[in-house]
Chains A and B, each alone.
Chain A
Amino acid sequence: MAVAQDTILTSTRLAGISETVVHFGRTIGLPAGFAVFSVIAWELLCRITHISPELLPAPSAVWDVLSGNPRILIEQALPTTIEIVVSFAIATTIGVLLATGICSSAAIREAIYPNIVMFQVIPKIALAPLFIVWLGVGGKSIVTVGVFIAFFPMVVSTATGLVSAKPDVLQLCRSLTASEWQSFLLVRFPYAMPYIFAGMKVGVTMAMIGVIVGEFITAQAGLGYIIMFASSAGETATVLAAIVVLCGIGLVLYGLVGAGELLVQRWFGGELPAGGVI
């Protein structure tokens, strides 16, 4: 009897494992397989139709550039990465602080928030040349463009998060004579965390866009500069290699924000049963 139950248990467990394998294969294997298939099709297309490499280099040619001179690419990736990280950090700090200030009073929020939402809509990238007039050619203006673009989604989503705390919980805090600051730190802020991270995910991609556009317009170094320089020289393989490196940087930074979100969620989850207080 017990043995029979045991075998049933193991078999269901085995079935569960094979199911997860199939699930894993489908969710990871299929998209990855499609990506690999596309790259192979691209390679074959280039070899068979003899497209000029200036127009569309084969993936193998891009790989040759990547493996042939990794030092130059890494050297150029360094300033770009630093500029992205710095502008993202500044945008996040200012954005969260400003959102906190905005949410401190209803009148301030009503006065400023619609203007910020309006700024979300307008094409801010057009201001890039203005920063060059103000700050000159170089890293400072590039970082400023990045900050300026990444800043608005940060403010908007943080402000949305700060007002999304459950009124019941806030009322409870008040009835327990918590100070404004305490209820901000212990209730409003944890409730805003998912929104802040959503804003940070948009912000990190926006900071990348800002920095790259900044480097397009004005730079003597960086991957954006390499892309512009190589494309005007007709070295399309180099352009694609630089783009591959950029995509790598983008994915790593996005992944770091995602990992930070998990970490903070777990931390706050231990301190405060999120969503389950009342």
Chain B
Amino acid sequence: MAVDTIASRAGTVLAPIGAVTPPTLRQLRPMILPVAAAGAVLAIWQMACVLAHIPPVILPPPSQIAAEFWRILPVLLHQAVPTTLDSLTAFALACALGIVLAMAITYSPLARDMLFPNLVLFQIIPKVALAPLFVVWLGISSESRVAFSAFTCFFPVVISAVVGFASADTSTLRLCKSLTASDWQSFLLVRFPYALPAIFSGMKIAMTMAVIGVIIGEFISAKAGLGFYILYASSRMDTAAIFAALFVLCMIGVTLFGAVALAERYVRQHYGRR
């Protein structure tokens, strides 16, 4: 038994040296299956459109959407710039304000008792309804969209950061105090690393909500941006163009989300090494 485990351990240690074997089908399964499912849906969609003669105004086949996508790609990229920039600005604002407020809440019990229940309440109410008010306050320029979007994605950041800061190991904090670490040091070296998983999960929610906020803002008031373009295309009943714009928007959403996930991995590795 013991020999067996030693041998298997040796095997696992030794194996990587000579093993640059290509990944087996079983290992690739989690990649292949979802892609195959998505491909199957696209194929069925294409066949349904062609065989059932669905009018392209209602549902264009994927091939037509792809053709339209290549045709209007320059326009789409041009419209994607303000949407992406607004989303990123709103996200950055929400994260900065959210983390600062969470720090204040963490260090002042009075502030926590006063503000936190109200913040949780704000998390529940439909903040989307305030979008037209931001237009009244800030006009139809991109400031109103950034402010509205930052407002919607601010709450998840604060709440998850507060929960994260509170999750620090109390015995580690006590150790810091007994080693005469300053409040700032124990924050930077203990509370912050402990809070990182929670902060990043809040930031992931915020990133998706930032894009949603900007799109809603563009629906209501805009002269540029993908949300504007989608509404414009839908008023012309140009369904293929709507889908093409949606595709670009999905790419933006996935890329921004992926960037936050990558940043999480990088930061966690950085803190893990120390």
Contacts and interface: CB of A to CB of B under 8 A. Distances in A.
Interface in A73-120: 107, 110-115, 118, 120
B129 A212 contact: yes
A133 B243 CA distance: 12
B128 A251 contact: no
Contact of A31 (B114, B226, B237, B250): B114
B214 to A, nearest CB: 8
Interface in A213-269: 213, 216-217, 223-224, 227-228, 231-232, 234, 236, 239-240, 242-243, 246-247, 250-251, 254
B37 A243 contact: no
Main secondary structure of the interface of B (DSSP, over half): helix
A231 B132 contact: yes
Interface in B21-47: 29-30, 33-34, 36-38
B253 A209 contact: no
A35 B118 contact: yes
Contacts of A31: 113-118
A239 B133 contact: yes
B254 A118 contact: yes
B38 A115 contact: yes
Contacts of A118: 254
A107 B29 CA distance: 9
B249 A126 contact: yes
B8 interface: no
A277 interface: no
Given A107-B33, A121-B257, A133-B58, A217 B219 contact: yes
Residue from A216, A242, A251 with most neighbouring chain B CB atoms (10 Å): A216
B129 A224 contact: yes
A213 B58 contact: no
Contacts of A107: 33
A183 interface: no
Contact of B34 (A115, A123, A223): A115
B154 to A, nearest CB: 15
Interface size class of B (residues with CB under 8 A): 35 or more
Main secondary structure of the interface of A (DSSP, over half): helix
Contacts, number: 141
Contacts of A228: 132, 220
Interface string B228-265: 00110110010100110110011001100100000000
Contact of B135 (A110, A231, A240): A231
Contact of A250 (B30, B36, B126, B237): B126
A185 interface: no
Residue from A126, A130, A231, A236 with most neighbouring chain B CB atoms (10 Å): A126
Contacts of A113: 34
Interface in A127-176: 127-130, 132-134
A34 interface: yes
Contacts of B110: 30
A151 B117 CA distance: 27
A254 B132 CA distance: 24
A129 B36 contact: no
Nearest to A116: B34
Contacts of A121: 208, 253-254, 257
A98 to B, nearest CB: 13
A47 to B, nearest CB: 19
B131 interface: yes
Nearest to B115: A34
19 contacts: A27-B113, A111-B37, A122-B253, A123-B211, A125-B215, A129-B219, A129-B231, A130-B242, A133-B57, A133-B58, A213-B219, A216-B131, A231-B132, A236-B133, A240-B133, A246-B126, A247-B126, A251-B121, A251-B124
Which 8 A-B pairs give the minimum distances between C-beta atoms? A129-B234, A231-B132, A31-B117, A114-B34, A111-B37, A111-B33, A122-B250, A247-B125
Interface of B: 29-30, 33-34, 36-38, 57-59, 110, 113-118, 121, 124-126, 128-133, 135-137, 208, 211-212, 215-216, 219-220, 226-227, 230-231, 233-234, 237, 239, 242-243, 245-246, 249-250, 253-254, 257
Interface of A: 26-27, 30-31, 33-35, 54-56, 107, 110-115, 118, 120-123, 125-130, 132-134, 205, 208-209, 212-213, 216-217, 223-224, 227-228, 231-232, 234, 236, 239-240, 242-243, 246-247, 250-251, 254
